[in-house]
Amino acid sequence: MITLVTVVHILVSIGLILVVLLQTGKGADIGAVFGGSSSTIFGSSGAGNFLTRVTTGMAIVFMITSLTLGYFSGKRPSASIFDRGSAGVEQPAPKPAPAPTQQAPAPSPRPQKP
């Protein structure tokens, strides 16, 4: 179930990005004055109404899948390193290493002169 919701979430998010990038900005009408033409693929009213409805639908599906994934991630038990191990059992402290003894260096014999 979680895998299906994740796949739908990824597909809707990619589709939402593409639909938003297809929409024209508010300043695009000025370009039509200088010889630009509106896209006639979507009809005489342009793509505004159609793309707005598709964007709204995808945004609703995106929010539903986001909430669903958040709900399922809260229900899953978390694995933590603090949960494992021996809680409440104290381990004995390691014994300190003996300090090395320092001895004075032995005097070196001096060669005698003949």
114 domain residue, yes or no: no
Q: Residues 6 or more apart from 67 whose CB is under 8 A from it?
A: none
Contact 58, 14 (CB under 8 A): no
pLDDT along the chain (114 residues), means of 10: 93 94 72 54 63 92 95 76 62 72 70 71
Is residue 89 in some structural domain? no
Residue 91 domain flag:
no
**Burial track 60-70 (b if 16+ CB lie within 10 A, e otherwise):** ebbeebeebee
Tell whether 64 is covered by a domain: yes
What range does the domain containing 43 cover?
A: 2-25+39-74
Whether the CA torsion 21, 24, 27, 31 is positive or negative: it is: positive
- Specify if 49 maps to a domain: yes
Q: Which helix (H) or strand (E) element contains residue 61?
A: helix 48-75
pTM above 0.75, yes or no: no
Q: How many domains does the chain have?
A: 1
Residue type, 3: T
106 in any annotated domain: no
Task: Specify the pLDDT at position 68.
Answer: 94
